[in-house]
Amino acid sequence: SRRFNIAAIAGDGIGKEVLPEGRKVLEVAARKFGLDLQFTPFEWASCDYYLKTGAMMPPDWKDQLAGMDAIYFGAVGWPATVPDHISLWGSLLKFRREFDQYINLRPVRLFDGVPCPLAGRKAGDIDFYVVRENTEGEYTNLGGIMFPGTERELVIQESVFTRHGADRVLKYAFELASARQRKHLTVATKSNGIAISMPWWDGRADAIGKDYPGITIDKQHIDILTARFVLQPDRFDVVVASNLFGDILSDLGPACTGTIGLAPSANLNPERNFPSLFEPVHGSAPDIAGRGIANPIAQIWSGAMMLAFLADAPDAGPGYREAHDAIVGAIEQVLKDGPRTGDLGGKANTVEAGDAIARALEAA
């Protein structure tokens, strides 16, 4: 059994409010299950740091983080003072790419006690994963603007897909589907309109699928797929998507289950050559930041996902898997019995909601 070193990066806005709640719950879990977690906080990767220094991170950021076992991350972005593409390409997107966190795993689940905006759905009816490709695709800085400032402005932004990149995320998704009961994989594409990359992506799904004869493959164009998230969410088990499609689906899915304030994510380098990063799906929410009313559950659940990933590290001690399950259980209990934050129709503030989950975990 060993110690895990974890970088704690709060970022901006509600990231600074929800990260402490996540740490609070993880510290209860550590005591209760005998986990050895050592947190190191970092002030950088934030717009405050950018305004002070002119950069989102210090030049040696990679050395400072490379030896960490995981990064526990809040949210970055403060568009009132720093343009979003500067803050995000200077931090989160760098982590994903330079630490080769090529899987972005985002569960979508409808819980008891959470008002569902879709008619006639109850807890258990919606339970699937979005597996988002996290290092290539539509997220590139390849391209440019010609004749800027003139009537002839011409804008090119390339998408990049590699066989290596597509195959590894598809394999991960097929493996995940294999471990689940329904053994169903939806492949998000757009092979009618995006006529080069998407038919190719379909072909890679078929090629990788040959090794998984027990999995049903359901290729869907992204447009109708978004409609079905709303109309037939019970149809999904594992959904694999390119970077941008996965981004969109992973806000839509949680919205269909009541609030994006619950949705966690794991940015994984499955080979563990680099630290993986665990963060809410949501952002820094400038519209509610500073009021202490954000839902901390996405952050707390992301912490549980971190423990589940550490559980499978070669020399992890016991207790990590159990701690994950107990945190998810405590979240379920508090969602059912309250107190709940405003996005769920309740009156609790961020700290009260975090305390309730910490107490439920303590009592479990």
Look at the block and give the residue holding tokens 């995981």. 70
Question: Which residue's CB is nearer to Mn ion, number 88 or number 351?
Answer: 88
Note whether 89 and 24 are within 8 A (CB).
no
State yes or no: residue 298 binds ligand NAD (CB under 6 A): yes
The helix or strand, by DSSP H or E, that contains position 107, with its residue range, turns out to be: strand 103-109
Query: Contacting Mn ion (CB under 5 A), which of 127, 247, 352, 355?
Result: 247
Q: Look at strands 276-280 and 264-268 and give their pairing.
A: antiparallel
The helix or strand, by DSSP H or E, that contains position 73, with its residue range, turns out to be: strand 70-75
Output phi, psi for 162, to 5 deg: -120, 155
Note whether 100 and 308 are within 8 A (CB).
no
Question: Number of C-alpha atoms within 13 angstroms, CB side, residue 104?
Answer: 27
Query: Contacting ligand IPM (CB under 6 A), which of 18, 281, 305, 326?
Result: 281
Q: Measured from the CB of residue 246, what is the shortest distance to ligand NAD in angstroms?
A: 13
State yes or no: residue 352 binds ligand IPM (CB under 6 A): no
State yes or no: residue 75 binds ligand NAD (CB under 6 A): yes
CB atoms within 10 A of CB 292: 12
Residues 216-275, interacting with ligand NAD (CB under 6 A): 260-261
Query: Contacting ligand NAD (CB under 6 A), which of 222, 268, 285, 331?
Result: 285
State yes or no: residue 177 binds ligand NAD (CB under 6 A): no
Query: Contacting ligand IPM (CB under 6 A), which of 247, 343, 352, 355?
Result: 247
Going through 114-159 in order, the beta strands assigned E by DSSP cover: 127-133, 143-146, 154-157
State yes or no: residue 288 binds ligand IPM (CB under 6 A): no
Question: Which residue's CB is nearer to ligand IPM, number 215 or number 277?
Answer: 277
Question: Which residue's CB is nearer to ligand IPM, number 281 or number 361?
Answer: 281
Residues found near ligand NAD in the complex (CB under 6 A): 14, 75-77, 79, 84, 88, 92, 260-261, 279, 282-288, 294-295, 298, 343
